[in-house]
Amino acid sequence: MAFPNLVLLFKLFSFLLLFRSTQSKLSADYYNKTCPKFQNIMQTILAEKQLSAPTTAAATLRVFFHDCFVNGCDSSMLIASNGFNKSERDANVNLSVAGDAFDLITRVKTALELECPGVVSCSDILAVSARDLVVMVGGPFYEVVLGRKDSRESNPSIVDKNLPKALTPMNELLSLFSSKGFSAEEMVALVGAHTIGFSHCKEFANRIFNFSKTSEFDPAYNPVFVQGLRKLCANYTKSPAMSAFNDVYTPGKFDNMYYKNLQKGLGLLSSDQAMVTDNRTKPFVDRFAANETAFFDMFARSMEKLSVYKVKENNDGDVRRRCDQFNTLQV
């Protein structure tokens, strides 16, 4: 007599497994029923913030990249330190990230919590913000699937080894990107995000002051450009906030001018300029400089790929109530 009950239990168990599997799949319409105003709310706040603070797009794109590359796209980069623990934000490479990105995420999360509390993850907010801001400043649209969960840890000790630096040699850059599943072409396309934003003088000071025994500055620089940088950054040690636009011609527009600049010796960072001299990356720099559509297409595909890198789903993470704090105190 118990046999029918076992069949019923088996069917119920199978249904629950199927339901869990279905729920775990990332999809573009993940919030259509649970938070139908998600996209509208985001669009409104993103537009307002970008208009009032034009550095927001570049800052958010940088936070997104730094978040995903360290331990997956899980918003661990958004966590603020407390009296018990330091977070990824405290890693040296993240100290110069502009605060506009964090302010934006806070504004979006606050509005979404009022509309649909406990539904939208910070990881999804960050991923969509990066995409929409790229589009707002002239870049390509690409699909962002949704359903990520937020991490329960943020460890500053693992940041440095997972992120490229201004002085990272090309061999190490290619190896780092490869370890995360990205080709040389995809790397060159992703670094093209430097077409917007700025870099602090300390990031390239070694190229413009006391470069070598035979030259005050890196001869790879355009000579007129480097003289301007030397004047701009003359007091950078006393004023560490001093910075220069990554793209001197169209700093606020997402386009392929960044690659054209590299060809002319107008690349700020050593790691960027190296891409135009290394045979493994130069063909892609040249192609993207000559064809903006080719750059946009590869950037979009690479960002789609990056946006799902090691994401957390279901019980592997939470939906934080605040993006800068874990739901439970970490001690």
User: 174 with 302, same domain?
Assistant: yes
User: 68 with 106, same domain?
Assistant: yes
User: 186 with 302, same domain?
Assistant: yes
Is 88 known as a binding-site position? Answer: yes
Q: Looking at residue 44, which CATH number applies to its domain?
A: 1.10.520.10
* Segment holding 200, helix H or strand E: strand 198-200
One-letter amino acid at 219 equals: P
Tell me, yes or no, whether 24 lies in a domain.
no
**pLDDT score, position 162:** 96
* Cβ atoms < 10 Å from Cβ of 10: 10
Residues 321, 120: Cα–Cα separation, whole Å: 9
**pLDDT score, position 331:** 53
Tell me, yes or no, whether 15 lies in a domain.
no
Structure tokens belonging to residue 310: 């090691």
Is 186 known as a binding-site position? Answer: no
Dihedral of alpha carbons 40, 48, 54, 127, sign: negative
Tell me, yes or no, whether 267 lies in a domain.
yes
Structure tokens belonging to residue 145: 């699937």
One-letter amino acid at 180 equals: K
**pLDDT score, position 5:** 59
User: 143 with 83, same domain?
Assistant: yes
User: 135 with 202, same domain?
Assistant: no
Residues 325, 320: Cα–Cα separation, whole Å: 7
From the first residue on, what is the mean pLDDT of each consecutive set of 10 residues in the chain (331 residues)?
Answer: 52 45 73 97 98 96 97 96 88 90 98 98 98 98 98 95 94 98 98 96 95 95 96 94 95 97 96 96 98 98 98 95 88 53
> Is 12 in a helix, a strand, or coil?
helix
Is 215 known as a binding-site position? Answer: no
Pick from 91, 126, 158: which residue ends a domain? 158
Tell me, yes or no, whether 18 lies in a domain.
no
User: 239 with 189, same domain?
Assistant: yes
Global model pTM greater than 0.85: yes
Q: For residues 246-263, b (16+ Cβ closer than 10 Å) or e, as one string?
A: bbbebbbebbbbbbbbbe
Contact 217, 230 (CB under 8 A): yes
**pLDDT score, position 25:** 85
Tell me, yes or no, whether 12 lies in a domain.
no
Tell me, yes or no, whether 90 lies in a domain.
yes
User: 149 with 115, same domain?
Assistant: yes
Dihedral of alpha carbons 331, 162, 204, 210, sign: positive
State yes or no: is 200 an active-site residue. no
Domain containing residue 204: 170-306
Dihedral of alpha carbons 193, 199, 204, 208, sign: positive
Give the total number of structural domains in the chain.
2
Is 276 known as a binding-site position? Answer: no
Tell me, yes or no, whether 281 lies in a domain.
yes
Is 67 known as a binding-site position? Answer: yes
User: 235 with 288, same domain?
Assistant: yes
Is 164 known as a binding-site position? Answer: yes
User: 94 with 205, same domain?
Assistant: no
**pLDDT score, position 330:** 59
Residue in 42, 46, 64, 66 annotated catalytic:
66
Q: Looking at residue 239, which CATH number applies to its domain?
A: 1.10.420.10
User: 154 with 174, same domain?
Assistant: no
User: 137 with 255, same domain?
Assistant: no
**pLDDT score, position 4:** 52
- Give the burial class of 155: count Cβ atoms within 10 A of its Cβ; 0-12 exposed, 13-18 middle, 19 or more buried: middle
User: 154 with 198, same domain?
Assistant: no
